[in-house]
Chains A and B, each alone.
Chain A
Amino acid sequence: MSSPGSLGHSGQDHGGTGSVEPVPAVAFNNITKTFGAVTACDGVDLSVHRGRIHGVLGENGAGKSTLMKMLIGLVLPDSGSIAIDGTTQHIQSPLAAASLGIGMVHQHFSLVDALTVWENVALGEAGKLDPDAVRNRIGDIADQYGLMIDPDAQVGSLSAGLRQRVEIIKCLRRDPNIVIFDEPTSVLTPDESVQLFESLRHVVAAEGRAVVLVSHKLDEVLHATDDITIMRQGKVVDRLEAATADAPTLARGMVGREVSLRSERAALGVLDVSADPSDSAAKPSNPNDSAPVLRIQNATARGIGGVALLDDLSIELRAGEIVGVAGVEGNGQRELGDLLSSLLSLQSGTVSIDGVQVPDGKSGAMARAGIGVIPEDRHDSGIVLDMSLAENLVLVDQSAVARRGFIDGSALRDFAEKMIDEFAIQCSGPDAPMWSLSGGNQQRVVLARELSQQPKVLVAAQPTRGLDVGAIEYMGQRLEAAAEAGVAVLLISSELEEILDLAHRIVVMNSGRIVGEVDRADANLESLGLMMGGANA
Chain B
Amino acid sequence: MSGTASGPRVGEWVVLYVVSVLAALVLSAILVQATGGQWRPVVNALLDGSIRNPGRIGETLGTAAPMLLVAIGTIISSKAGLINIGQEGQLFVGAAFATYFGFLIGGPGALNVVLILIFGAIGGALWAGVAAVLKYWRNVPEVLSTLLLVTVGGQLVAYGLSQSWLLLAPLADRGNRNQVSSQLAEGNRLPRLEISGNEIPFAVFLGIGLAIVVSLALSRTVWGFMLRMLGRNPRAAQRSGVAQTKYGATAIMLSGAFAGLAGAAMLAGGGFAFGNYQLVPGFSTNIGWTGLLVALVAREKALVAIPVAFVFAGLRTGSSFVGATGVEGRITDVIQGFLVLALLVPPAVMFLRDRKRARDAATERT
Residues of A within 8 A of B (CB): 36, 341-343, 362-368, 373, 380-387, 391, 395-396, 398, 402, 405-407, 409, 427-429, 431-433, 435-440, 466
Within 8 A of A (CB), among B202-250: 220-223, 225, 228-229, 232-233, 235-244
Does the CB pair A396–B1 fall under 8 Å? Answer: no
The CA-CA distance from A365 to B232 in the complex, in Å, is: 20
Partner among B1, B223, B228, B365 whose Cβ is within 8 Å of the Cβ of A466: B365
Shortest distance from the beta carbon of B228 to any chain A beta carbon, whole Å: 7
Q: Which residues of B contact A438 (CB under 8 A)?
A: 361, 364-365
* A366 cross-chain contacts in B, Cβ below 8 A: 239
Check B240–A433 contact: CB distance below 8 A: no
- In the complex formed, the residue of A with least CB distance to B359 is A435
Q: Are A385 and B222 in contact (CB under 8 A)?
A: no
CB distance from A460 to the nearest CB of B (A): 15
Q: Which residues of B contact A440 (CB under 8 A)?
A: 365
CA distance A463 to B161 in the complex (A): 63
Q: Which of A363, A368, A402, A407 contacts B237 (CB 8 A)?
A: A363
Q: Are A466 and B366 in contact (CB under 8 A)?
A: yes
Determine the distance from Cα of A428 to Cα of B354 in the docked complex, in whole angstroms: 17
Q: What 4 A-B pairs have minimum CB-CB distances, sorted nearest first? A: A364-B241, A439-B365, A381-B235, A435-B358
Do B361 and A364 touch across chains, with their CB atoms under 8 A apart? no
Q: How far is the CA of A439 from the CA of B243 in the complex (A)?
A: 28
A432 touches B1 (CB 8 A): yes
* Contact digits for B1-42, partner A, Cβ 8 Å, 1 yes 0 no: 111100000000000000000000000000000000000000
B172 — which chain A residues lie within 8 A by C-beta?
none
Contacts of B228 in A (CB 8 A): 384, 387
- Closest CB of chain A to B7's CB: distance in Å? 13
Range for the number of chain B residues in contact with chain A: 20 to 34
A437 cross-chain contacts in B, Cβ below 8 A: 361
With a CB–CB cut-off of 8 A, which chain A residues contact B243? 362-364
B2 touches A395 (CB 8 A): no
**CB neighbours of A364 from chain B (8 A):** 238-243
Q: Are A385 and B1 in contact, CB atoms less than 8 angstroms apart?
A: no
Q: Which of B220, B223, B232, B366 has the largest count of A CB atoms less than 10 A from its CB?
A: B366
**Are B242 and A428 in contact, CB atoms less than 8 angstroms apart?**
no
Tell me how far the C-beta of B226 lies from the nearest C-beta in chain A, rounded to whole angstroms: 9
The reply to whether the CB of B362 lies closer than 8 angstroms to some CB of chain A is yes
Among A341, A363, A398, A433, max chain B CB count under 10 A is at A363
Q: Which of A391, A428, A435 contacts B225 (CB 8 A)?
A: A391
Whole-angstrom distance from the CB of A465 to the nearest CB of chain B?
A: 10
Q: Which of B2, B229, B238, B366 contacts A342 (CB 8 A)?
A: B238
By beta carbon, the residue of chain B nearest A428 is B1
In the complex, A407→B366 CA distance in Å? Answer: 34
Closest to A399 in B: B222
Contact A406 B220 (CB under 8 A): yes
* A405 touching B221, Cβ below 8 Å: yes
List residues of chain B with CB within 8 A of the CB of A433.
Answer: 2
Q: Secondary structure of the A side of the interface?
A: loop
> Which chain A residues border B229 with CB–CB below 8 Å?
384, 387, 395
Contact yes or no, A396 B232, CB < 8 A: no
Q: Evaluate contact between B366 and A398: CB separation under 8 angstroms.
A: no
Could you say which residues of chain A place their CB within 8 Å of the CB of B362?
A: 435, 439
Known A435-B361, A466-B366; contact A367-B239, beta-carbon cutoff 8 A? yes
- B235 neighbours in A (Cβ, 8 Å): 343, 380-381
Chain A residues, CB < 8 A from B2: 428, 431-433, 436
Q: Which residues of chain B come closer than 8 Å to A395, judged between CB atoms? A: 229, 236, 240
* 22 sample A-B contacts, Cβ–Cβ < 8 Å, listed by A number: A363-B239, A363-B243, A364-B238, A364-B239, A381-B239, A383-B233, A384-B229, A385-B358, A386-B232, A396-B239, A398-B225, A405-B222, A407-B222, A428-B4, A431-B2, A432-B1, A433-B2, A435-B354, A439-B362, A439-B366, A440-B365, A466-B366
A370 to chain B, nearest CB (A): 13
- Bound state CA distance, A438 and B185, in angstroms? 64
Chain B residue numbers with a CB within 8 Å of A342 are 238-239
**Contact, CB under 8 Å: B236 / A381:** yes
CB proximity of B206 to chain A, nearest CB, Å: 23
Contact B222 A398 (CB under 8 A): yes
Give 4 new A-B contacts, CB below 8 A, not counting A385-B233, A395-B240.
A433-B2, A436-B1, A439-B366, A440-B365
Bound state CA distance, A437 and B244, in angstroms? 28
Instruction: Tell which of B236, B244, B354, B362 has the most Cβ of chain A within 10 Å.
Output: B236
Q: Which residues of A contact B358 (CB under 8 A)?
A: 385, 435-436
Q: Which residues of B contact A365 (CB under 8 A)?
A: 241
Residues in chain B near residue A409, CB distance under 8 A: 220
CB pair B221–A406 under 8 Å, yes or no, is yes
CB distance from A87 to the nearest CB of B (A): 37
A491: min CB distance to chain B, Å: 19
Enumerate chain A residues within 8 angstroms of B225, measured Cβ to Cβ: 391, 398, 407
Instruction: Tell me which of A384, A439, A466 contacts B236 (CB under 8 A).
Output: A384
Q: In chain A, what residue has the closest Cβ to B237? A: A363
- Which positions 146-195 of chain B face chain A at CB distance < 8 Å? none
A391 vs B3: C-alpha distance when bound (angstroms): 17
Pair A341/B239 contact, Cβ less than 8 Å: yes
- Closest CB in chain B relative to A347 CB, distance in Å: 19
Contacts of B240 in A (CB 8 A): 363-364, 367, 395-396
**Nearest residue, chain B, Cβ from A342:** B239
Chain A's closest residue to B216 (CB) is: A406
Q: Are B3's CB and A405's CB within 8 A? A: no
Q: How far is the CB of B193 from chain A (nearest CB, A)?
A: 31
**Would you give the shortest CB distance from B114 to chain A, in whole angstroms?**
25
User: What's the minimum C-beta distance from A147 to chain B, rounded to whole angstroms?
Assistant: 33
- A408 to B236: give the CA distance in the assembly, Å: 22
Min C-beta distance of A24 to chain B, whole Å: 35
CB-nearest residue of chain B to A388: B2
Contact A363 B238 (CB under 8 A): yes
Chain B positions within 8 Å of A36 at CB level: 366
Q: How far is the CA of A395 from the CA of B222 in the complex (A)?
A: 10
A381 touches B222 (CB 8 A): no
A387 touches B361 (CB 8 A): no
CB-CB under 8 A for A428 and B3, given A343-B239, A398-B222, A405-B223:
yes
Instruction: Give, as a whole number of angstroms, the nearest-CB distance from B355 to chain A.
Output: 9
Chain A residue numbers with a CB within 8 Å of B244 are 363
**How distant is the Cα of A439 from the Cα of B240 in the complex, in angstroms?**
21
Q: Contacts of B220 on A, CB cut-off 8 Å?
A: 406-407, 409
How many angstroms from the CA of A391 to the CA of B239 in the assembled complex? Answer: 15
Say whether A381 contacts B238, CB under 8 Å. yes
A363-B243, A367-B239, A368-B241 as given contacts; A381 in contact with B361, CB under 8 Å:
no
